[in-house]
Amino acid sequence: TLAIALLFAMRLLGRVLDPLSELSETMARVSRRHDYTVSLDPRGADEVSSLVTSFNAMIEEIRHRDNRLKRHSAELEHAVAERTREFRAARDIAEAASRAKSDFLATMSHEIRTPMNGILVTAELLAAGSLPPRLRRHAEVIARSGKSLLAIINDILDFSKIEAGHLELEMGPADPAEIVDQTLALFQERARAAGLDLAARIEMDAPARIAAATARLTQVLTN
């Protein structure tokens, strides 16, 4: 009876321990190699068979998850590559537009400044000539207006500096009374034609000299 019991116990232990040993070795191999393609044959006792079946289901779920992650990663890489191509195309278009704008501004700078300088030189020569006082004042107004217009044109042509934040004010000593007088001179003829008396009042305690960007201050007063 004892021999039969031992034989029965050995067979029972074999049915339980062998599948468990195989399951343990498989789990160790999966842990080392990250190989989720393995699968075990569910054999042995009912509890052991259920454990092996659960292990196979877990490995299958991990395998499906990895496949989904791989597909998602591939789709993401494709989307990133496509978006990168779009960004590069947009960048090339923007750079081409910037170069075209720079070329246009460079051309217009020469085409506009050349006749403006001719007008300024002519007005200054007239103002320095033997003209009646009234005509001399007109010539001086033309010269000053031309200089102001040329400064504005330079600002427009240098718009790229404004975009890049590189525009700097040219500060220097300025006479506020003189700037006001020159600004009024630009409009006195039109005011007189409209029957208006254009005048300015400067406070007595106003400084005679200030540090300012004369061209910008003239623009403000003119506007």
What pLDDT does 210 receive?
92
Looking at the DSSP bridge assignments, the partners of residue 173 are: 211
Query: What one-character DSSP code corresponds to residue 48?
Result: H
Could you tell me if 202 and 176 are in contact, meaning their C-beta atoms sit under 8 angstroms apart?
Answer: yes
Alpha-carbon span 52 to 194, nearest angstrom: 104
What pLDDT does 211 receive?
92
Q: 46-128 and 133-157 are packed helices; what angle lies between their axes, rounded to 10 degrees?
A: 160
CB-side neighbour CA atoms (13 Å) of 39: 6
Q: What is the pLDDT along the chain (223 residues), one digit of tens a residue?
A: 777 777 766 665 555 566 667 667 777 777 677 776 776 666 655 666 777 777 777 877 887 888 888 888 888 988 898 899 999 999 999 888 877 877 777 677 667 777 877 888 888 888 887 878 888 888 888 888 887 787 777 777 666 666 666 667 788 999 999 889 888 888 888 888 889 988 888 888 889 899 998 878 888 888 8
What pLDDT does 162 receive?
65
Q: Is 8 helix (H, G, I), strand (E, B) or coil?
A: helix
What pLDDT does 159 receive?
66
Closest CA to 17 of 38, 39, 47, 37: 47
The amino acid at residue 197 is D
What pLDDT does 173 receive?
92
What pLDDT does 17 receive?
62
Alpha-carbon span 36 to 68, nearest angstrom: 14
Rounded to two decimals, what is the model's pTM? 0.38
Q: Kindly state the tokens that stand for 188.
A: 């006195």
